[in-house]
Amino acid sequence: MSVEPVILIEHLYKEYQTDAGAVPVLNDVALSVMPGEFVAIMGPSGSGKSTFMNILGCLDIPTSGRYLLNGRDVSAQSPDELANLRNQVIGFVFQGFNLLPRASIEDNVALPLIYRGADRGERIARAGEMLEKVGLAGHRHSHPNQISGGQQQRVAIARALVNQPRLILADEPTGNLDTHTSEEIMALFRELNQRDGITIVLVTHEPDIAASAQRLVRLADGRIVYDGPMSLAHAAIEAPA
Amino acid sequence: MIYAMLSEAWVAMGANRLRTFLTMLGMVIGVSAVILMLAIGQGTQQQVQASIASMGSNLFIILSGSVTSGGVRMGGGATPTLTLADATALEELPGVVAVAPTTPGTAQLVYGPNNWSTQVNGSTPSFLVVRDWRLSSGLPFTDSDIRSATRVALLGQTVATNLFGDEDPIGKTIRIKNSPYVVLGVLAAKGQSLDGRDQDDTVVVPVTTAQRKLFGSQFVGTVRFIMVQAESGEVMPAVEKSMNELLRQRHRIHEGSDNDFSVRNLTALANTAAETAKVMSLMLGAIASVSLLVGGIGIMNIMLVSVTERTREIGIRMAIGARSRDILLQFLLEAIIISVIGCLIGVILGIGGALAVSKATDMTVVVTLGPILMAFAVAASVGVFFGYYPAHKAAGMRPIDALRYQ
């Protein structure tokens, strides 16, 4: 019995149109991520990892190639269907937290539920549950600017989890945090992966952070140069691109 | 869903109170101006209509005069050419309801220690019919009073008040030019005429009494003017024509000579005044509507700024699953809330302003539901119309661009 991959990418290309002509960013990328995997994507700046992440998250569209998310061909989806995918299949965690500054912690966490059409009672209950999970139950009525960066990232993770997605995409989630807080956040990710079986794809440039993952994908100049277990990857991490 | 969106819009508006207030202010001023202007316009219209009604309906007035003697053309009313016999003859014409030959004059009235100078109209019982004038107390004089030229009088409200105060004038004897007259009745109050005269400052006596005993007349039996009431507005042109023919015949005016009388259609004049008032009311409304439009553009302006400022927020929302129509709805709702709340405040201020104007001045101000509902509908549609473009702009953003925006 075969398990379907959460992410299946084949021959993916992405070019940006500039005045100087087309600039290739991703060049024949292939990737398959199975449910429950914890994958770290690494690479130097300009390697295309952010673009790759945006395509994985259905925020950007590839120039060509195939991308099956949860078995559905993303290129065949309408903008509204893409929004629904982002809402229910994917949970985003960003480097800059990306919380709404004017909304309370609870409202921030509940926001994806609004777009799913959940009623108020369910929204409050689910948001409370998620905040409990990330250890911020006492802050539900605070505002983002009243809590620390680490706490804000926890709120963002709670928001990402609120619709029970199969996949969490984290783009440099510890980029704005100190080492200690970073480790706490990574512990949370590991717990989500191991206990709840949530698939996680993480972009980072810090080897310590990437070490939480079981699998490493290394990008350079728009190509995958390494894809394998983290334990065998030290050479790949340390090696110059 | 809508409720959640509403509360989000509320939060967004609360985040920038001064801006929200200023945006709303455009709407407030627009709506209150529309309501105030329409209230004043309608008040004026109603005042004009009341004056017209008080004048009597379907009314002609036939003035004597404008004769030419030896190349000198005399003005209207200069020569008394109309007689009571003319009036009697006019009564026979088809389409004529009532005819009131009238001789006006000014006289000093005395009752006890009080005296008062006023216009005294010598006329017939038909006077009350054509002027659509009721008595507030007492009885009118009759045709037999006309035949006998009795010394009786009907007092206008103003005259009654000035001579009698709180006393009941009915049956009392007053003196007009030192002759005794018995007060038969008091006319109901009519208020101001179109040109602002006090219609109640008048006394009516039998026309024969006025001719023979009060003012005298150069030529026996002549009157200054004759008021004629037609059956309906439709027959007025035909009645005017037949009156002209009859009077020319009676006055033996040859073919080609000028009339020695002139017929005026008072109702037509009054309708013109009513039209003028209506046009004025519309114009006031139109001018005020412009400010409503400007208020709407203000909303659009602010919403555009707000969309640009909140690009990143739009990106975040899209990243976590907002569809284009969710974003559209969010910004549209904000615009509608601003315009509807602005409109509510505007309605309150408009009504308050109208009441203040009517308190502070003599102007009649009429606040009706119509303009309020209209202003409301317009405000809501202005919100939708001017909110749509910025909202559409927000909804059309690509998630990745919106999220990257700094």
Domain presence at residue B368: yes
**DSSP β-ladder status, B114-123 and B72-73:** unpaired
Give per-residue pLDDT as tens, A100-118: 888 899 999 999 999 988 8
Q: What is the mean pLDDT of residues B231-253?
A: 88
In which band, very low, low, confident or very high, does the pLDDT at B74 lie, cut at 50, 70 and 90? low
The yes-or-no verdict on residue A33 having pLDDT over 70 is yes
What is the greatest pairwise CA distance in chain A?
A: 54
Domain presence at residue B44: yes
Q: Please indicate, yes or no, whether residues B213 and B283 belong to a single structural domain of this protein.
A: no
Residues 6+ apart with CB under 8 A from A44: A205, A220, A241
The sheet carrying A223-229 orders its strands as A90-93, A167-171, A199-203, A38-42, A215-220, A223-229
Amino acid at B380: A
Give per-residue pLDDT as tens, B87-113: 889 989 998 989 999 988 889 999 988
Interface predicted TM-score (ipTM) of this complex, two decimals: 0.90
Among all chains, which residue has been given the structure tokens 């209509």? B49
Q: Which of B227, B245, B263 marks a domain boundary? A: B227
Nearest by CB: B320 against A80, A87, A103: A87
A121 touches chain B (CB under 8 A): no
CA distance B275 to B62: 24
The β-bridge partners of B119 are: B106, B202
Cα separations in angstroms, B41 against B45, B211, B277:
6, 44, 7
Q: Please indicate, yes or no, whether residues B297 and B221 belong to a single structural domain of this protein.
A: no
Beta strands in A120-231 (DSSP E): 167-171, 199-203, 215-220, 223-229
Would you state the pLDDT for residue B70? 61
Amino acid at A184: E
Q: What is the mean pLDDT of residues B235-262?
A: 86
B396 touches chain A (CB under 8 A): no
Give per-residue pLDDT as tens, B311-356: 989 999 999 999 999 999 988 888 888 888 888 899 899 999 988 9
B12 touches chain A (CB under 8 A): yes
Q: Which of chain B's residues have a Cβ under 8 Å away from the Cβ of A79?
A: 323-324
SS3 B158: helix
Give per-residue pLDDT as tens, B27-68: 898 889 888 888 888 888 888 777 777 777 788 888 886 655
Q: What is the mean pLDDT of residues A183-196?
A: 92
CA distance B214 to B193: 26
Among all chains, which residue has been given the structure tokens 């509940």? A110
The yes-or-no verdict on residue A10 having pLDDT over 90 is yes
**Touching A: B residues 293-312, CB under 8 Å:** 312
Distance from CA of A24 to the nearest CA of B (A): 18
Q: Which of A102, A182, A74, A76 is nearest to B317 (CA)?
A: A102
Among all chains, which residue has been given the structure tokens 């207030």? B21
Nearest by CB: B313 against A59, A100, A112: A100
**DSSP β-ladder status, B173-176 and B96-111:** antiparallel
The yes-or-no verdict on residue B276 having pLDDT over 90 is no
HEC assignment per residue over B85-138: HHHHHHHCCCCEEEEEEEEEEEEEEEECCEEEEEEEEEECCHHHHHCCCCEEEE
DSSP state of B16: T
Nearest by CB: A59 against B312, B325, B400: B400
Are B201 and B119 spatial neighbours (Cβ–Cβ below 8 Å)?
yes
When comparing pLDDT for B308 and B54, which is higher?
A: B308
Would you state the pLDDT for residue A240? 47
Q: Considering its fold, how many domains does chain B have in total?
A: 2
Amino acid at B361: T
Q: Where are the domains of chain A?
A: 94-164
State which residues form the domain around B140: 99-227
**Structure token digits, residue B351:** 């009504």
Domain presence at residue B209: yes
Give per-residue pLDDT as tens, B116-132: 999 999 999 999 988 88
Would you state the pLDDT for residue A241? 43
The yes-or-no verdict on residue A153 having pLDDT over 90 is yes
A80 touches chain B (CB under 8 A): yes
Would you state the pLDDT for residue B367? 82
Q: Please indicate, yes or no, whether residues B285 and B391 belong to a single structural domain of this protein.
A: yes
Are B299 and B335 spatial neighbours (Cβ–Cβ below 8 Å)?
yes
Q: What is the mean pLDDT of residues A84-102?
A: 90
